[in-house]
Amino acid sequence: MSLADRELENLLTDLESDRAERKTSAADRSSIRKAICAFANDLPGHEEPGAIFVGANDNGTCAGLAVTEELLRTLAQMRTSGDILPPPSLVVEKRILNGCELAVVMVQPSASPPVRYRGRVWVRAGPSTQQATPEEERRLAERRRGRDLPFDSRPAEEAELEELDLDFIRREYLAPAVAPDILEQNQRTLDRQLTSLRLFRDGVSTFGAIVAFGKDPLRWIPGAYVQFLRIDGATLTDPVQDEKSLSGPLRELLTQLEQLLQVNIQVAGQPASSARDLPQPDYPTAALRQLVRNALMHRDYEGTNTPVRVYWFSDRIEISNPGGLFGQVTRENFGQGATDYRNPLIAETMRNLGYVQRFGMGVPLAREALRKNGNPDCEFHFESGSVLVVVRPALSPVEGPAQ
């Protein structure tokens, strides 16, 4: 997706281009994020990357900005901050163009528009960034046909709007997904609002909407559940102490799963002798929470009916999800902030519902919680069609249990 110097130089000096934005510095980060959002929406339909030149004056001349590693890192992290949904695809590079040192943000058009920055849709109108009109939002929502979209953004045939928990969507989801002032003045019908949010398409609910808000997700996606086993031993042939299949819309599924994890952690702990002498948990809830959320977000919902599995052995926990590494994520950069999304709509709904604070941080947060609790680092095993994470119990006492 990286553009050649000659094309970037042409964009830098073309003051009328709607594919270029110039900033003297990164001080106005909100403005840069709006431009990222606008280029990702690609309202003009260029199907080519837009470029943000940080360190350039409005006329394309050099502003004399020193391009540091910290600046490049700050710009790159705008992709995963959670303010822009679904997360855009972008590359940040240091370039020397026309003798000027610049930080260049190259933004790929989104396969699943409209893209929002803090609940608002931004588009390019000539060389400027503007908030989209309702008609422009509609055009963006209808741009891609179902087969060109990620699975979670495709329409689920015959899944009418009533298949979703509309009361919950109105009460809990619209407010965090759409800016308050826009929501207040919005005169569109609910189905048009949900179309703009990619929850409704071609007259039916999308698969991502069914996973997040469906009354009966298993009716439409047979693998959308979690299989939990508590095993009295270290192998699958040992006696099973507890077995559960957890299903339902994401919020209910995650609530059930967290309660089940906490109950089993408490079972493993030893009674405290006093209020100050708290037992150390064998596993920190915070780590397991991040790992199961990660599995539900990144699993393959399309090509398999296999559930996410949580197997709790006497000496370890195994969490496996169908669907191998996706897109730009590799064995080498996994867990180091690299992000790509098989299910961008599901990732967006989890962010808006408060289950994700910042994209790409689930695994690092889990590792930090394990370290603080005295557990070994988690182990990841990658196959072509699955990812397995193994978590082992705490090695030594620490000052109280991790939360």
Which one, of 208, 118, 350, lies nearest residue 200 by Cα? 208
Could you give the CA distance from residue 74 to residue 183 in angstroms, rounded to a whole number? 30
Query: What's the pLDDT score for residue 338?
Result: 65
Residue extents of the structural domains in the chain: 5-131, 144-220, 226-391
CATH code of 226-391, in short, is: 3.30.565.60
Question: Residues in the chain with pLDDT < 50?
Answer: 146-147, 267-276, 397-403
Query: What's the pLDDT score for residue 342?
Result: 87
> What pTM was estimated for this model as a whole?
0.70
Q: What is 5-131's CATH topology?
A: 3.30.950
Query: What's the pLDDT score for residue 144?
Result: 57
Query: What's the pLDDT score for residue 326?
Result: 79
Burial label for 399, CB within 10 Å (0-12, 13-18, 19+), is: exposed
Could you give the CA distance from residue 274 to residue 382 in angstroms, rounded to a whole number? 44
- Residue matched to tokens 């994890």: 261
Q: What is the pLDDT of residues 223-265, one digit of tens each?
A: 999 999 999 999 999 999 999 999 999 999 999 999 999 999 8
Query: What's the pLDDT score for residue 221?
Result: 94
Token pair of 201, please?
Answer: 């398409």
Could you give the CA distance from residue 199 to residue 163 in angstroms, rounded to a whole number? 12
> Which stretches of 57-161 are assigned E, i.e. beta strand?
84-85, 89-97, 100-108, 116-117, 120-125, 128-131
Contact (CB, 8 A) for 241 and 231: yes
Q: What is the pLDDT of residues 83-94, one digit of tens each?
A: 999 889 999 999
Query: What's the pLDDT score for residue 328?
Result: 72
